[in-house]
Structure 1
Amino acid sequence: MSNQILWDCHMHSSFSADSDTSMEDMIHEAIQRNLSGICFTEHLDPDYPPTPDNETFELDLDAYKETLFSLQEKYRSKLNIHFGIELGLQPHLADSFKELLKTLPFDFVIGSSHVVHGYDPYYGEFFENREESACYREYFESILENLEAFSGMDVYGHIDYVVRYGPNQNKEYSYERYRDILDEILRTIIDKNLGIELNTGGFHYGLGEPNPCRAVIRRYRELGGEIITVGADAHAPAKIAYDFDKAAAILAESGFKYYTVFQNRKPEFIKL
């Protein structure tokens, strides 16, 4: 029996600005795939910079909570459904996030870097007229700035997200090339009793690697990291549990015997 991961702990529905799939459609697909459970982690990115397509990452928290709780009840016998959020971290948002997390009963909180000093690498202007490596380094430095300002999340999301959108993606990127700063990030995460996620989104972006890449996941384990959640970052049903067989193999090869699921903000370790 090969290792299996039966929880997808990073997904979006139409409550997130960049998805138009209903929550119920995501749930139906997860049931079809025989998952044990899922966690919705809708985007909340306050102070998101203006974009060419006028995206805003606001979130109607009341409607989201109400819908999720009613669907949780409806599908209780078929699927565990957890209530999560993906916070778009920026240092100046730390206090408002601390207040928000006191008011809602989330199971799971991902903190992610999307906006770096006013730019989201998703849009090409972050890379314009600059060395790709300088952009990547700035992205990693911003993670350290976020960790210094705020550590109220459970895991740090897709640590090398920036490589999905670089001009050369990950052709010239490796853990070794950025080892100094990546080690500092991983040590800081471990010191703060936080986890990381293995995000299989990198596979559906054609990187041949998850985010973060295998070498970063292995290094996190070497440094003593134990908390690792798994999510496909699906914004549509077809991507749910995407390449989870590869994710399970990577965790096992990296020395993990368990993956992590959060309930009521507490980690539960599930055997691979």
Structure 2
Amino acid sequence: MYTDTHTHTNFSSDGRMAPEEAVVAAIEKNLSGIAFTDHFDYDYPGNNNEFRYSFEEYFDKIVPLKEKYAGKFNVFTAVEVGFQPHVYNQVNEIINKYEFDYIIGSTHAINHVDPYSGNFFNGRSKEETYLEYIKEVYKNVMMYENYDTMGHFDYHIRYATMFEDRTFYYSDYSDYMDEIFKHLIAKNIALEVNTSTYQKVPIDKKNLIRYKELGGEMVTIGSDAHCTTDIARIFDQTLPIIKECGFDYVVHFEKRKPVFEKIIL
């Protein structure tokens, strides 16, 4: 059994499930655990779209769930932090203040534009936008330190619907990807396989293969679910791909320490 390491409850402004509803759904899907990685995006683009919430209220809700299901199902306190270079100090202050089991570091906004809005791609080519995005990921990965996994390195492809082939190919950005992978490995930071991204766009396996070739061992798998029906989405299709790329285990984090789960097909 596996842990869904990337989910969003109604503590996220775009989340549509209560925490215990998510726990019940995850148990029904034969998972062994779930991490509630609600959004914390400081200075997120837009006047009314701030992805922030009360961590005190979050812990008041999630910690009792951890205790209620202890010994039967694992509930992990976690957060998905939106990395932007100009909010480094504010983000670090929050990360260092609370005792999470697990922290995802993700790049959502590039020059204060989220690809989700579609404006990021307006009038520009795939080559230009994809390169700009991975440059921003590279910049954030090199700047930030206190996190456990790099979230959805190809997040932008979900919204690049204007391009016939949306796949993010390793060979097109190998210089950046190699440096990112080497840095993650050196810092003991995991690489996320985010199944929301690959629900409609195929993963370029070479990204995972190259990460493995460079010495990478830690891969997390997360659905990025915002509702109960999406918990563990296409895990059954994605775990064989991870194994095919050379990984016998996926990991989740407890008290910021990696725990390896054997992939059994």
- With normalisation by structure 2, the TM-score equals 0.94
- Structure 1 residue runs without a partner (length 5+): none
One-letter identity of the residue aligned with 2:177 = L
Counterpart mapping for 1:175-190 below 5 A: 175-190=170-185
Counterpart mapping for 1:41-190 below 5 A: 41-50=37-46, 54-166=48-160, 167-168=162-163, 170-171=165-166, 173-190=168-185
Counterpart mapping for 1:210-225 below 5 A: 213-225=204-216
SS of the residue aligned with 2:115?
coil
SS of the residue aligned with 2:38?
strand
One-letter identity of the residue aligned with 2:212 = R
Question: Once the 2 structures are TM-superposed, how far is the Cα of residue 70 of structure 1 from its aligned partner?
Answer: 1.4
SS of the residue aligned with 1:78?
coil
Larger deviation, residues 100-109 vs 39-48 = 100-109
Count of residues paired in the alignment: 262
Partner Cα separation in structure 2 for residue 195 and residue 39 of structure 1: 15
Question: Once the 2 structures are TM-superposed, how far is the Cα of residue 162 of structure 1 from its aligned partner?
Answer: 0.9
Larger deviation, residues 223-232 vs 67-76 = 67-76
- Structure 2 residue runs without a partner (length 5+): none
SS of the residue aligned with 1:84?
strand
Q: Is the 8 A contact 1:111 1:154 kept in 2?
A: yes
Q: Is the 8 A contact 1:169 1:207 kept in 2?
A: no
Measured on the aligned residues, the alpha-carbon RMSD in Å equals 1.6
Task: Quickly say closer, same or farther: Cα 1:198–1:169, change in 2 above 3 A.
Answer: farther
Q: Is the 8 A contact 1:38 1:81 kept in 2?
A: yes
2:21 aligned with 1:30, yes or no?
no
Question: Once the 2 structures are TM-superposed, how far is the Cα of residue 198 of structure 1 from its aligned partner?
Answer: 1.0
Partner Cα separation in structure 2 for residue 20 and residue 214 of structure 1: 31
Question: Once the 2 structures are TM-superposed, how far is the Cα of residue 88 of structure 1 from its aligned partner?
Answer: 0.2
Q: 1:260 aligns with which of 248, 251, 257?
A: 251
Partner Cα separation in structure 1 for residue 192 and residue 36 of structure 2: 14
Partner Cα separation in structure 1 for residue 164 and residue 148 of structure 2: 27
Partner Cα separation in structure 1 for residue 181 and residue 93 of structure 2: 26
Task: Quickly say closer, same or farther: Cα 1:172–1:72, change in 2 above 3 A.
Answer: closer
Question: Once the 2 structures are TM-superposed, how far is the Cα of residue 77 of structure 1 from its aligned partner?
Answer: 4.2
